[in-house]
Structure 1
Amino acid sequence: MKEYLHKTIPNLKPFDYARHHDDLFINQQWVLVNGISKKKSIYTFRKDNILEISRKQSIIETSWTIDIQNVFSIETEDGLITVKAYFKDDDVLVLNHQNKKEFALFINTANYDEDVNSIEDVQAFLKEKYKQKVANLIYGHEFYYIEKSEEFGPFTVEELEEKAKKEEISMYCFVRDINENDYSKRLRIYDLIKEL
């Protein structure tokens, strides 16, 4: 079952109590993505093992526990289920059912200004989140560029943008990250600037 999950959602990190429990898990409002178009559910795991499930104007209180192997037992409307928790990143939580080939995907929208009520809203949230993540990675990072078979650099994106604005280099020069060996990704200065 674990292989199925990791093929569906790659690069998951297992729940780490010390790292995730207090800062990323407890008292966060996790929006359940599964079935969001039918009904929006928000799960809040409280410290005293209370699980609050909010739907429209009703709140259901149930319980959850975690064992030493980081396996969660959660009381749901369908009975007691056991799940393993994984984080895709700080705002994406996956609970993998231990007895079925099923998982629940949650997003934490605490740092997002828009309401998330549909699959389209989830897509917009993820697009904005990863666009911001890419922009954060690009800022301050350095790249080489190649022009007329000669390599120059490294330069930050801001420096490359300035050179392109002054028409010292073409916006369509290929660039490579300082950690890459070649230009096989076919990334251009234009592509970097577009992500900022």
Structure 2
Amino acid sequence: MNKYLHETIPNLKPFNYERHHDTYFINQQWVLVNGISKKKSIYTFKEDNILEISRKDDVIKTSWTLNILNNFTIETEDGLITVEAYFKDDDILVLNNQEKEEFAMYINSTNYDDELNSVEDIQTFLKEKYKKKVSSIIYDHEFYYIEQSKEFGPFKVEELAEKVKSGEISAYCFVKDVNEYDYSKRMRIEDLIQEL
């Protein structure tokens, strides 16, 4: 069953009590992605093993427990289910059902300013989230550039942007990541600058 989950959502990190429980899990407002187009549900795992499920004007209180193997049991409308918890990022939680080939995905909306009420809202959230992540990775990373068949670098993107601004090099020079062997990706300095 884990194979199905990991093929569907790669690069999951297992729930780690010390890292996740207090900071990223307890008292956070987890919006259920599955079925959001029909009905929005917010799950809040509270201390003392209370789980609050909010839907429009209705709040259901139920229970959850965590065992020594980091498996959760959750009391639902369908009975007691056992799930294994994973994080895609600190604000994306996946609960994998241990008895069926299905999982539930949640987004932590606690620190997110906009409402998550639809599939479009989820898409916007993910797009913004990964755009920021790419920008920060690009900002800190180094690249080589090639001009007139000579290679120069490595330089950070802001250094390359300064060279372009001063007219020292063209924004259309090809660049490659320090870990790449060649310029086959055909990425230009201009492409990097746009991501900043």
Bigger drift between 174-183 and 19-28 goes to: 174-183
Counterparts of 1:48-87 in structure 2, within 5 Å, are: 48-87=48-87
Measured in 2, the distance between the counterparts of 1:47 and 1:168 equals 59
C-alpha RMSD of matched pairs (Å): 1.2
Question: 1:179 matched to which residue of 2?
Answer: 179
CA offsets 1:158-186 (integer angstroms, 9 cap, x no match): 11112112332221222122233333333
Measured in 2, the distance between the counterparts of 1:70 and 1:126 equals 27
Measured in 1, the distance between the counterparts of 2:4 and 2:26 equals 27
Question: 1:31 matched to which residue of 2?
Answer: 31
CA offsets 1:93-122 (integer angstroms, 9 cap, x no match): 100000101000001122322111000100
Give percent identity, aligned residues only: 73
Measured in 1, the distance between the counterparts of 2:176 and 2:92 equals 29
User: Following superposition, which runs of at least 4 residues in structure 1 exceed 3 angstroms of deviation?
Assistant: none
SS in 2 for 1:48: helix
Question: 1:113 matched to which residue of 2?
Answer: 113
Residue segments in structure 1 that go unaligned for 5+ positions in a row: none
CA shift, 1:57, in A, is: 1.5
User: Normalising by the residue count of structure 2, what TM-score does the alignment of the two structures yield?
Assistant: 0.95
SS in 1 for 2:34: coil
User: Normalising by the residue count of structure 1, what TM-score does the alignment of the two structures yield?
Assistant: 0.95
CA offsets 1:60-118 (integer angstroms, 9 cap, x no match): 10000011111100001111111000000101110000010100000112232211100
Question: 1:143 matched to which residue of 2?
Answer: 143
Residue segments in structure 2 that go unaligned for 5+ positions in a row: none
SS in 2 for 1:7: helix
How many residues are aligned here? 196
